Amino acid sequence: MAQPHPKQLLHLVFGGELTSPERMEFKELSKLHVVGIYPNYKSALEAWRAAAQATVDNAHMRYFVVHLHRLLDPEKDGNA
75 compared with 18, residue with greater pLDDT:
18
Distance CA 49, CA 65 (A): 10
Q: Where are the domains of the chain?
A: 8-17+43-71
**Of all residues in the chain, what percent carry a pLDDT higher than 90?**
74
Architecture of domain 8-17+43-71 in this structure: 2-Layer Sandwich (3.30)
Strand partners, 77: none
Cα-Cα end-to-end distance for the chain? 24
For the segment 17-29, the average pLDDT, to the nearest whole number, is 95
Confidence grade of residue 80 (pLDDT, cut at 50, 70, 90): very low
Q: For residue 11, how many other CB atoms are within 10 A of its CB?
A: 24
C-alpha to C-alpha distance for 52 and 69, rounded to whole angstroms:
23
